Structure 1
Amino acid sequence: MTSYNKEAKEPVFSSTPRSGSISIETTNIGVTGGSHDVDDRTPQVVDNTTLAPGPRTMSRRDAVFVLLTNQVGLGVLSLPGVLKTLGLVPGTVAIIGLGCLSWFTAFELKLFYDRHPHVLNIVDMARIVGGRGFACVAAFGMILLVVMTAASASVTFSVALSLLSDDALGSTAFIGIGCICCWFLCIPRTARFVSQSGIPSCISILAATIVVIAALAAGRPVNAPAEWRRAPVWFAKPSFRDGLNACLKICYAFSGNVSFVSYMAEMTNPQRDFGAALAWLEASSIGFYVFVAVSIYCLAGEYTTSPALGSAPRMLAQVAYGLVIPSVLSKGLAFGHTGIKFVYVE
């Protein structure tokens, strides 16, 4: 707090923070014997305002869950269909390979952020690299991706409610309900709220896929004849169009990188914590994707559907779609939050 001394005509500073002020905690630099001991940790910004929380609120644990919420969700439901198109071996290699590529590109974003810690989103990075023109292109691509992903969440939400209610209100009404739910979830201002939805989101998608796998292991997929036998194709021969479409589905499953910069901007110490959180994300997501894709495709074979939850018999498919709803809404929350915050900042 600052006051003014009329006699000395100099401002007088007080170290006691008042309500509604923002203070910055800095570290001391010690000089001993000609050597400089510098603490290069990120300064901790403490926001004492009563109207809003500070911008950097996420710890390493929060970062792990916000990354899982952002990436693990809807994309995994299309991966068994990818193996159906490409074959078991090429499809598995493609999932692992593109997952490692996603890991590498995300780590490059982290290295760029270490050099330019003032950026708030991926568009700011594009502005540094290529100026205003490149930033406009990146902004258009980013908004298009987050809008389409949030729309995909609303459509999947509509499919789930239509299946659970025998299409009581119609697809359009259910899509509208999904949009309203995603909008309501995006009201909190910090990404820490997104991380808090990580546990229910992960439990949701894990439970839904386990139900489908158990149903297919105990019986046969929907529409399969009684004499059907499991015979997965090891190497398929798709057309160029089908093969490219299958690879793009894998890319979509790993498309969360667009939000990573925004999350680093809200971490208390991204230089230290983001690399570890990213390792947790990529290792768990690649393993989970391969497990779900291989399990469902080997059990359903040519009757594998996309989304994969529809491969199970109708009653158990309804159970799976009911379980996956929290994960669907969390996906819309994660991408919607990134897009809304970018528009607000710009």
Structure 2
Amino acid sequence: MDHLSNLDAKRKGADLEHEVASDVESVRMAERVQEEQEHQIKYRTCSWQKTAGLLFSEYICLAILSFPWSFSVLGMALGVVVTILMAAIVLYTSLIIWRFCLKHPEVRDVCDIGRILFGGSDLAYNLTAIFFFFNNTFIQALHVLVGAKLLNTLSNGARCTIIFSVVSAVVCFFFALPRTLEQMSFIGTFSAITMGLAVLLAIIFSGIQGSPFRFSEELGAPLVFAGPAPGATFVTGMSAFLNITYTLGGQIAIPSFIAEMKNPKDFPKALWAVTIAEIIVFNICGAVMYHYIGVQYVTAPAFGSLTTTYKKVAFSFTIPTIIFLGSLYSSITARFIFFRIFQNSHHRHSNTLVAWATWTAIVGFTWIIAFVIAEVIPFFSDMLSLMSSIFDSWFCFIFWGMAYLTLYPGEKKWLGVGRSLETVFNWFLIVLGLYILVAGTYVSIQSIIDSYHANVVGSAFSCASNAL
């Protein structure tokens, strides 16, 4: 009885402490919003609806069209299960990020969180910053290449791919110039809507086109399997799993989004709306397109499995997403660098010539680096998988398991059955992240080796068409 009484007293004390902490967090957040009222540029201006627009633009993206390929490897049933489970984990870890940011309203981005998680270490902050920069820049580079792929597809490869890549980078540069996320939220919402239409059209076209692109009597009618496809290996199965994981795992940008909200306590509204949409859209796209295309004809992205006219129509609706999502990651990176340069300067919040010249130069720098990365690496898709394994293992799992353990230090993490189970689950997230770090790195390197053996690796700065 004494033990139960002590446990109950500890729980009540923890609840009271949580209420007091919540009040303190609200006051500290209100103070930070108030501090900006005299500034020319105010950063904490996003409503939860505008934040939802940013989240939708991040998650409702071209990578959805790779889900039919993942489903073809894992099988229909396992593909659906993995998608739902990973979406649930991303939802949970995103809520951990939100709770962590409420407790630490000084957080501007994931780099600040890296410093806090490792006891205020400047080394941890700088290493996180390096990971943060390269993660975002590789995503920008992907959009440079996808933009070139789109232009090559629509024009039947009428121009050199390098020229199309330059065009993509320049257009994205201009859309990354706004200095607040609120200014970008409308375009983000528009890009999510057009991407949703692209996915819808792709699903419809896959059903009405009759036969998939490059259909042959030799390969036969589309084959669909409930379980893993015959001949699936650990490398292909892990690649399919990681493809789903990386597409759903966009937590790296969430601290930056929360840092520009008027009322961060409303963030879960935006998060739940996006998660529900994700589960519905991702599963429908993966399952329905796999059903009509079959394991023999599926491509990633699945636009490549549509006949020429349908492919061009559906692919053209992705233009806003290709431009905006790369621009969003450029803006987030530029904001981190800009704030470091002008930590305590009035230029940080002002429309001065120095501020705008510096901001423009930083954004331009990120796109130059992205263009070079996109063109200089002939096995870019495999390299992107390798970088995702190294970075996303931390930014999707390990960091947030650690963040939970930081939120509930000492014996607090074991108060009650529910809290204890949650603590065990967060240790599982850390282990899962470490597994993805090791296994994902192995699979990516093996894929690079296989690509070289198959002689399917191109050359750097190539003019060859990369059209679907």
Structure 2 residue aligned with 1:268: 262
> Any gaps of 5 or more consecutive residues in structure 2?
1-22, 341-468
For residue 233 of structure 1, the aligned residue among 209, 212, 225 is 225
Q: Which structure: greater strand fraction? A: 1
- Separation of aligned partners in 1, 2:51 and 2:130: 26
TM-score (norm 2): 0.63
AA at the equivalent of 2:102:
D
Residues 146-161 of structure 1 mapped to structure 2, 5 A cutoff: 146-161=136-151
For residue 322 of structure 2, the aligned residue among 318, 328, 338 is 328
**C-alpha contact (below 8 Å) 2:60/2:196 kept by paired residues:** no
AA at the equivalent of 1:83:
F
Query: Higher Cα Rg: structure 1 or 2?
Result: 1
1:178 offset after TM fit, Å? 0.8
- Which digits, 9 at most, give the CA deviation of each residue in 1:34-83, with x for residues without a partner? xxxx794641425344xx42111100111110111122202212111101
AA at the equivalent of 2:258:
M
AA at the equivalent of 1:152:
L
Q: Which structure: greater helix fraction? A: 2
- Separation of aligned partners in 1, 2:171 and 2:38: 31
**C-alpha contact (below 8 Å) 1:232/1:298 kept by paired residues:** yes
**C-alpha contact (below 8 Å) 1:212/1:311 kept by paired residues:** no
For residue 112 of structure 1, the aligned residue among 100, 106, 117 is 100
- Name the count of aligned residue pairs: 306
Residues 1-346 of structure 1 mapped to structure 2, 5 A cutoff: 40=26, 42-43=29-30, 44-45=33-34, 46-49=36-39, 52-130=40-118, 131-218=121-208, 219-225=210-216, 228-237=220-229, 238-270=232-264, 272-302=265-295, 303-346=297-340
Give the % identical residues. 24
- Separation of aligned partners in 2, 1:122 and 1:129: 10
- Separation of aligned partners in 2, 1:255 and 1:193: 24
**SS across alignment from 1:229:** coil
AA at the equivalent of 2:289:
I
Call closer, same or farther: CA 1:71–1:216 in 2, change over 3 Å: closer
- Separation of aligned partners in 1, 2:128 and 2:139: 16
1:255 offset after TM fit, Å? 2.8
1:243 offset after TM fit, Å? 1.3
With a CA cutoff of 8 Å and minimum separation of 6, indicate the structure with the bigger relative contact order: 1
1:125 offset after TM fit, Å? 0.7
**C-alpha contact (below 8 Å) 1:83/1:91 kept by paired residues:** yes
AA at the equivalent of 1:275:
P
- RMSD value, Cα: 1.7
- Which digits, 9 at most, give the CA deviation of each residue in 1:267-306, with x for residues without a partner? 0010x21111111111111221111111111110121110
**C-alpha contact (below 8 Å) 1:194/1:333 kept by paired residues:** no
- Separation of aligned partners in 2, 1:57 and 1:136: 28
- Separation of aligned partners in 1, 2:333 and 2:284: 31
> Any gaps of 5 or more consecutive residues in structure 1?
1-37
